[in-house]
Amino acid sequence: MTSDRLIVGVGGGIAAYKACALVRLLVETGHEVRVVPTRAALEFVGAATWAALSGHPVTDSLWHDPHEVPHVRIGQEADAVVVVPASADLLARAAVGLADDLLTNVLLTARCPVLYAPAMHTEMWEHPATQANVATLRSRGAVVLDPASGRLTGADSGPGRLPEPAAIAAALRSLLRGKGRGADLAGLRVLVSAGGTREALDPVRFLGNRSSGRQGVALAATAAARGAGVRLVTANVELPMPAGVDVVRVGSAEQLRAAMLAAAPEVDLLVMSAAVADFRPAEVADRKIKKRDDGGDGPVVRLVRNPDVLVELVAARAAGGPAGQVIVGFAAETGDDEGSVLEHARRKLAAKGCDLLVVNDVSAGRVFGSDSTEVMLLFPDGEARPLPAGSKEEVADAVWDEVLRLRQGGHRA
């Protein structure tokens, strides 16, 4: 069981009630949690609630137990600080270094990872002043998640909704897992694909694959927790989406291709972890295909090749894409009479032309849908480096570590 000492700072906003669920979740997973609310936050949720959930006394005052110097000690002793909700006012005060209450003092004294989960109305989030404050905090190494889009206070909808507590907790876990890294992806734009495409056969049937999208979602979540701006293109993924990530949902290989090619020119790092169908039906019936009453065989389905999205992305980079862009592919392989998993993967890497290929051995149904995985990193110069078995988040962090090395002048295709 973990014993990280976490500070949950609570800003003044209606979304403060969601912080209650976050505190409970963190306590239940073994963390020692202390809540530091602002005075405005206590207008929404009282100190007694925070004390009961965290098991620690709660105050917003600099003058509570002054002999213990709480405005310095709390931040110094923390393993991580998460501010939820981070209001526009709180982001502004943190950006200019004000220290007019206990929470802003804690933010100034903390030398640990700091995560902000903003929540405010769309106009406030999009205002140049707020965006400048966010950029300032990110430049100093803090992780500021982008807010979710959805229903806000009253009838308003749009960007500014607080991410769900489980998504914030996942981002915090990523920060804790990589405390030595800091926000090392800050300022980088990341594009990740996840899931498995589906190719329509008729209005109710499709050809698909067994990809759950867990690894792609983990890649997006860990990149966001390390400070990157992330777009995640998901194909038929039924998982909670990570906090602070721009999600584009697609269904077919052609839809995924269009979304990836449209976004690729604007990104620094690109990871194709989605399982894209190699083939699709040549004809799609406009009505459900009926089985024959005479008991005969069903129709013969003619297949045609789908475009190779990864090859097209590599070609687009070569034709004038972003300088220094790193492209990573994924390969789910099984061995057969024509070669081993590694031999097939080497041929695939040569054909794709990407900078790194992450290879999964999926023999006997391994990997798909599991929370853990074991992969090999394959480089164009022939190096094959196995990673230790671990969670998909741990593998994602290892992939990003290698991608950063590639961007700084390591292996390149």
Residues tagged active-site:
209
Q: List the helix and strand counts (H, then E) for the chain.
A: 13, 21
- Across 251-351, the runs of DSSP E, i.e. the strands, are 269-272, 279-281, 303-305, 326-333
| Nearest C-alpha neighbor of 323 from the set 278, 250, 266 | 266
- Whole-angstrom Cα distance, residue 143 to residue 152? 23
Q: Over the Cα atoms of the chain, what is R_g?
A: 24
Tell me the H-state helices in 226-340: 253-263, 309-318
How far apart, in Å, are the Cα atoms of 336 and each of 342, 361, 366? 11, 12, 16
| Nearest C-alpha neighbor of 271 from the set 333, 212, 218 | 218
| Nearest C-alpha neighbor of 271 from the set 346, 204, 202, 194 | 194
| Burial class of residue 411 in the structure, from the number of CB atoms within 10 Å of its CB (0-12 exposed, 13-18 middle, 19+ buried) | middle
**Residue 402 CB partners (closer than 8 Å, separation 6+):** 356, 377, 410
